[in-house]
Structure 1
Amino acid sequence: MTYSKGDATDSPTDNHMGVLRANNITQSGLSFSDLVYVPSGLVSELQRVRQNDIVIATSSGSISVVGKAARATSDFNVGFGAFCGLIRPSQEIEARFLGHFFGSSAYRTYVSSVARGVNINNLKREHFENIEIPLPPLPEQVRIADKLDALLARVEAGRERLERVPKLLKRFRQSVLSAAVSGELTREWRGGRDAEWRTARVGDTFVSFSGGTPSRNQSDYWGGDVGWLSSGDIKSTKIADSSESITQLGLQNSSAKIAKAGSIIVVVRSGILAHTLPVAVVERDLAINQDIKCFDSNNKNINLWLLIAWKANESKILGQNRDGTTVQSVKYDTLKNWVLSIPPQDEFNEAIRRIESLSAIADRIEAKYAAALSSFDRLTPALLAKAFRGELVPQDPNDEPASVLLERIRAAREAEGGKRGRGRPAKAAAGGSGDGAEVKRRGRPPGANAQAGAEGTEPKRRGRPPKVREAVSEPDAQPAAVAETAEASAAPRGRGRPPGPGIPQASSFEDALRKLEEQKLARAQGARQVGLFDDAE
């Protein structure tokens, strides 16, 4: 649906309805946060999201966004925007099975192959009509959907537990640093005696300064051999490189200053201060900008202890000493007035040794976390791929063959005549097949293009689930593709091709190979297409 900017509001009001956009389509389902709301009269009944509808992002500047899809788990009183489309599955298909297909790698690969544009990536109606979907018998669809629902729920639960690890590691690291600067980390080493440390005010012990930015209008100030740090470069506690560099001329003609190797730098103005205090030791001479303060005591050990103290007290500094709203800043006076407790040299050495030892443990856990997260990222695509190869659940030879399901959909279309969208001529209905009795199969579901033989029987075969092309319809007045299931009494028309030959029985392995080659040739000459989706009116 389309609407003007003046029609939209960001909060629900009387006689207004929410509108889904691409950002509301997530891997875990539809999200109803950050909706826009438009007058309900702008959203037709057809465009309201019903249970089992699949909402798809059909247009985006990002190829990773276009094609995103999510199934509605219940009726929702919302519509969908102009850059989204909707597929409404036939009642003859297990909607959960279909919904899982739209999360598979095969679907994403297809989208990438057809949706690329010059500036905007688009999915059109014909792209959905030409998608091939492996289709098992309906009972097997249900078994696959049940299995995927259970397995993917376990994957998601495992991922949620795994994603707690970074926060736990951060707390662990900070606890180690806190124990170090309080003396608890080395209490055993001291024999349980109280710490005999000296204290020093940072402003009295350290020289501190901020930097600046050379004029961007002077090209000869930039791209030189002097590394130049901005707040975005401070991503770890050791800094040796910068994303930009300046020339000696730029350094001399600006307020940028050099932080010497071994000195401490801290970000004092940045949005990142909402949750993190970036502090680092500089490993080589680097210039800094105005959002960074440098502190140097001319003693690398004391400098390092200051870094440890500030990281240990990160929450305290951020919680009590911030100014600003969007762009946060730490008060310079707070940092200069910080009182630093400094241990004797031998205890300092022991504290650093223990910090490094415990940090190494955290690093190993972090590496295992990264590997586990990568495995989780591969697990869902692997499960979906296995499901749509017909390998996830056992197959039941007593299941009604998929070809019978397809014929029932075709027959319903022909019997009812289908419902057509506004302004579109009706498409020819797909042709029928023989009406003899079918032979029950064993193995994987029959191919969608495999027809019963001349005697009207379907021979046994083994193989992967059939690939079935979707047929969706779109109201002419709407910019997004919409596929509508009519009520149980009304099924849509679909396009079809003449049925291909069935798979005859083989008397030997060599005979089977020959007959399969004949079948491939027959398919290449023209295989039927059967629509799974009813047309929208």
Structure 2
Amino acid sequence: MTSWVEADLAEVCTLITDGTHHSPPNSACGDFKYVTAKNIRPWGLDINDITYVDAETHRGIYARCPVEYGDVLYIKDGVTTGIAALNTLKEPFSMLSSVALLKPDRMVLDSSYLKHWLNSPGAYRSMTGEMTGTAIKRLVLKQIRATRIQVAPLPEQKRIADKLDSVLARVDACRDRLDRIPALLKRFRQSILAAATSGRLTEDLRQSGAIGDAGAQIAQWLKERSNTDKKPPADPDLTHWDLEAPLGWIICSVSQFAECLDRLRVPIKRELRKNSSGLYPYYGANGEVGKIDEYIFDDELVLVTEDETFYGREKPIAYRSSGKCWVNNHAHVLRAPTKTANDYLCFALMYYKVIPWLSGTTGRAKLTQQALNTLPIACPPGTEMMEIVRRVETLFAFADRLEARYAAARKQAGQLTPALLAKAFRGELVPQDPNDEPAAELLKRVAASRAEAPKARRGRKSA
């Protein structure tokens, strides 16, 4: 890197400024696009949700910030500070002050090289270490202009930028493919559960003649609970049910399959939870939400989300709890007669399409205890149920291993971009050519050329 040199950004840019400091009226249609930090992405401008300003407003902003095609845009305010992008629009537009405009001197500095350098870990540390502000952190133009940049010979800059464009495009493509895996795994798990609770997963058992009697099993469970149940279990509400039970299975309600223990739930104020040492899990609609010193349950349970707010989320709506715990009144509590039955019940309810059974206003609807008790589920005989649970656990373990490998690969992919950028600006990404004019000589020549150029005369200010 003997041919490289350090310089202030102000030395290698012809203009460093930002957009308007007063947010103008803007709307979904108008004369000129209005770009803010939300529109800046490392790959360019995202104009999917762009807004517009009128021509008069644009003239005032553009006089201060004349952005052109190929200029570098840099977020300098807020949580996304540090993202740089090339301007890919060939039309004039207005900008807010959250975005800085850097016009590189093309005789000294390549635009793509500057963009990549601004996105590098070293540049980020240099920039953000000087951020000011309390409510919203921001960089001021003076700090940006004084930031030091490693300037390579101009031909080498172009080689570095071209190499980074090529390699980072492959990294982004890899990351995009990896990002599709969580959705695939979710569909895989859902398909396993759908096959398990419809009988398709164990169809081979029934074809071999292993057919039990789920009806007798349910009758036995209800007989055992008859002394503790305060009221008889509800029949299944089949209004929205369209699946037929396989041979030997029975369609029963949740309350016929398991006992509802909602009467034992107790909510606790957050202030009291903060003062506890956290011996036992404290469950709510979204799973474990904290720890608490006491417990009200010590059993194998299935907890079911009560609030509509949590339906359609990534997490399943039912989950298992084993051992001592506390449950608040945002999760229903179910207990099946055996651990195997408990596991099967959880599998049946994890992604249950409960929306038709909800009651209340949209956005605040709930799965009431009464509705939960009438949810229909397909119940297999005991022996087949055990095999279903075993197969589901095996397939889920396989999915968990895939998920762990995905997480490791995603972490590695996330480290590639900063590692490549750091390597590039250490001078290690592309070969150096001794025939390239050293950056220091180029800067001297350009500085001398600027000094010899006649200064533009200022016009008289209008009154």
Range into which the TM-score falls when normalised by the shorter chain:
0.7 to 0.9
Kept in 1: contact 2:273–2:291 (CA 8 A): no
5 Å-filtered alignment, 1:246-325, equals 258=296, 261-276=299-314, 277-311=316-350, 313-314=351-352, 316-318=353-355, 325=362
2:323 counterpart SS class: coil
Query: Which of the numbers 105, 121, 142 marks the counterpart of 2:121?
Result: 105
| Greater per-residue helix proportion | 2
- Of the three residues 163, 170, 175, the one matched with 1:154 is 170
Aligned to 1:130: 146
- 2:382 alignment counterpart: 345
Distance 1:421 1:121 in 2: 36
1: CA distance, partners of 2:457 / 2:317? 61
Given candidates 94, 99, 105, the residue that maps to 1:79 is 94
Q: 1:408 is matched by which residue type in structure 2?
A: R
State whether residues 302 and 342 of structure 1, in contact with CA within 8 Å, keep that contact through their aligned partners in structure 2: no
Correspondence for 1:441:
none
Counterpart for residue 155 of structure 2 = 139
Q: For 1:223 and 1:421, how far apart are their aligned partners in 2?
A: 69
How far apart in 2 are the matches of 1:146 and 1:221?
A: 56
Aligned CA RMSD, in angstroms, stands at: 3.2
1:421–1:177 Cα change, 3 Å: farther
From the superposition, tell whether residues 169 and 56 of structure 1 become closer, same or farther in structure 2 (CA, over 3 Å).
same
Greater Cα shift, 337-346 or 354-363: 337-346
Say if 1:289 and 1:116 are closer, same or farther in 2 by CA, change over 3 A: same
* Secondary structure at the counterpart of residue 274 of structure 1: coil
TM-score (norm 1): 0.66
Check the 8 A contact 1:49/1:76 in 2, yes or no: no
Cα shift at 1:101: 0.6
Amino acid at match of 1:243: G
Aligned residues between the structures: 397
Q: Distance in 2 between matches of 1:222 and 1:274?
A: 30
2:181 to 165, 182, 185: 165
Partner SS, residue 409 of structure 1: helix
Contact 2:81 / 2:138 at 8 angstroms: preserved in 1? yes
Is residue 397 from structure 1 mapped to residue 434 from structure 2 by the alignment? yes
* Percent pairwise identity: 31
Any idea what SS the aligned residue of 1:115 has?
coil
Tell me how far 1:87 sits from its aligned partner.
Answer: 0.9
| Residue of structure 2 equivalent to 1:66 | 81
TM-score, normalised to structure 2, is 0.75
Map Cα deviations across residues 210-263 of structure 1 (whole Å, 9 max, x no partner): 7564567xx66874577543323x2xxxxxx54254879xxxxxxxxx555312
Uncovered stretches (5+) of structure 1, i.e. residues with no partner: 235-240, 249-257, 424-537
Structure 1 residue 362, shift from structure 2 partner: 1.1
Q: Which amino acid aligns with 1:201?
A: S
Q: Give 1:207 deviation, angstroms.
A: 3.4
Task: Compute the displacement of 1:161 (Å).
Answer: 0.8
Any stretches of 5+ residues in structure 2 without a counterpart?
1-18, 210-245
- Change in Cα spacing, 1:373 to 1:319, as seen in structure 2 (3 Å) is farther
Deviation at 1:326, TM superposition (A): 4.5
Residues 349 and 417 (structure 1), Cα distance of their counterparts in 2 relative to 1, 3 Å cut = farther
The answer to whether the 8 A contact 1:228-1:244 is kept is: yes
Secondary structure of 1:261's counterpart equals strand
Structure 1 residues 344 and 143: CA distance shift in structure 2, 3 A: same
Return the letter of the residue paired with 2:250: R
User: What one-letter code is carried by the residue in structure 2 that aligns with 1:204?
Assistant: Q
In structure 1, C-alpha distance between the alignment counterparts of 2:282 and 2:459, rounded to whole Å = 62
Q: For 1:37 and 1:401, how far apart are their aligned partners in 2?
A: 44
Displacement of 1:48 = 4.6
- Give the deviation of 1:388 after TM superposition: 1.2
2:25 to 8, 18, 23: 8
Counterpart contact for 2:282–2:292, Cα < 8 Å? yes
Specify the alignment match of 1:50 in structure 2.
Answer: 68
TM-superposed CA distance for 1:323, in Å, is 6.5
Is 2:273–2:290's contact at 8 Å kept on the other side of the alignment?
no
Residue 486 (structure 1) aligns with: none
Residue 395 of structure 2 aligns to a residue in which SS?
A: helix
- Within the candidate set 192, 208, 231, 2:285 is matched to 231
Deviations 1:450-488 (A, max 9, x none): xxxxxxxxxxxxxxxxxxxxxxxxxxxxxxxxxxxxxxx
- The 5 Å alignment of 1:357-372 reads 357-372=394-409
Measure how far apart 1:290 and its partner are: 3.5
